Structure 1
């Protein structure tokens, strides 16, 4: 499973695994233990996690959600110190610790709550996605180094 296999649906809580596309939309399955199936039509707003990023004030302008989740996991692992019901100032301090150059004008408290909810869902149901990405060397380079 990858970040491109997980989606959020507007109006529905939680995250969903993309099962397969249909003629009129996509079949989704909830990531939690219930494994509820949902057929999302093309009229519903579906956001794939690999396409979501957090606004920043640096030159790039945003940071991929995948990187944010890995940073949270690296820094906090199981104890975030905040919950989605924490005070807005605590939530802003949390995201500022993770992304020092986040854009407070464009990142709302509701967005930070979603990040925390989604992180917790992934931690529980797909913890491998939160681990650091190991860069694989292309096979040609690996073979080249062995022959030297």
Structure 2
């Protein structure tokens, strides 16, 4: 799952991919329509890779929540984010059984499911666990003396 460069920009709909950093901010491309926008340093921006969801045991990274949804739906689309709060909570309970309902609000669940739908349509989420990159093994080279 590669959400390291995916952003949520406050006041702008949808998700954006970080394209280029500039002196005064950065350039991001919308995942919805592909339009590029410039964002100043004063804008409120969140990297999806830095967001976590509260559970009773601590916090779970958003990428893990997306992976759990993909696992439940077999990499398919999730429940609509427009469902009523009771359905959202029961669906979220299936995906993340120990989420803290006192600190995770229905609006958060809607946002997470909406983001999942956008990322799933672009093929950026999967049920596969991320594989740690292995360092290449240097082969011993023999030289003739």
Q: Do they superpose with TM above 0.5?
A: yes
Shift of residue 137 of structure 1?
4.3
Aligned residue for 2:142?
Answer: none
Deviation at 1:134, TM superposition (A): 2.8
**How far, CA to CA, are the matches of 1:21 and 1:79 in structure 2?**
32
C-alpha distance in 1, partners of 2:22/2:133? Answer: 34
Unaligned runs of 5+ in 2: 140-145
Matches within 5 A, 1:1-148: 2-32=2-32, 34-58=33-57, 61-76=58-73, 77-80=75-78, 82-125=79-122, 127-132=123-128, 133-140=130-137
Higher alpha-carbon Rg: 2
Q: Count the aligned residue pairs.
A: 137
Contact 1:29 1:35 in 2 (8 A): yes
Change (3 A) 1:75 1:29: same
Structure 1 residues 79 and 15 mapped into 2: Cα distance closer, same or farther (>3 Å)? closer
How far does residue 138 in structure 1 lie from its aligned partner after superposition? 4.3
Whichever structure has more helix as a proportion of its residues is: 1
In structure 1, what is the equivalent of residue 143 of structure 2? Answer: none
Q: Which of 1 and 2 has higher RCO (CA within 8 Å, sep 6+)?
A: 2
**Whole-angstrom distance in 2 between the partners of 1:66 and 1:137:** 21
CA distance in 2, matches of 1:42, 1:107: 28
Instruction: Give the TM-score of the pair, scaled to structure 1.
Output: 0.84
TM-score by length of structure 2 reads 0.86
Whether the 8 Å contact between 1:15 and 1:118 is mirrored in structure 2 is yes
For structure 1, the 5+ residue unaligned runs are: 144-148
